[in-house]
Structure 1
Amino acid sequence: MAAIIRDRAVVEDDRRLIDDEDTLPGDDTPVIVTWERWQTLLDGTAEDDGRHPAAGVLIPNTLDLAEGWPLLQRRTVIALDFPAFPDGRAYSQARLLRDRYGFEGEIRATGQAVVRDQLHELDRCGVRTRRAA
């Protein structure tokens, strides 16, 4: 069972992270898909037209939010990738999502560099943390 920290408590994760090779569930199961898969789900449209309302998106820390925001703005969950400890780009993405773009949904942290020592800093950026089962 995977868990996340939400409102400073460890709770069961209510979303499934779907790999690019996995089949999307046919029901209303809340999922998180990768940025690449999200663009495929949009069928090449220029912006998120409200389809797949339960889908959250895992974005790479290399994504330019100025370009990606039109595709993300209707999401209720955005997961940020923290691939390596010294790489702080996802912290910047979290601040930009909150401060510049006014994102009020849930921001999650995932990746190799999500460690307990950084929970305070993640919280300051508005991130909620996902941990492995």
Structure 2
Amino acid sequence: MDRVLAQIKQALDQVQTSNVLVITHFVPHRQLLWPKPVRVKTPRHERIYEMVVAMMGSQRLGDLLASYPQVKDVIYGHIHGVHPPQIYDGITYLNPAVGVNKPRNQEWQWPNFMQQWQHQLVVLDLT
């Protein structure tokens, strides 16, 4: 994460525009990470959960992005599922994932990939 933060900071320091879209694979805000499942009750499961969450992303990224007023929108990934846009610190966070379509984990709201994908598309006005 230190490398990601350094690279994004370097790029944002060079930006001369007032409306920046950041695209990252990592989850940039703690509110966007998975909540702890109720079955996580033992110290071992707690360590595993913390490790998985740490690999997904970091609030440090969200804090960095919030320190640049020109950042207006962030597209992030790394987690599956369909998530509505969220706004934190004046930044709109979007996850365009189509979700998982498996018998054990069915997240699609539409009958096929193309319809699910089209439903997830977002048009941003960066002017």
Bigger strand fraction: 1
Highest CA radius of gyration, 1 or 2?
A: 2
TM over 0.5: no
Bigger helix fraction: 2
| TM-score of the superposed pair, with normalisation by structure 2 | 0.36
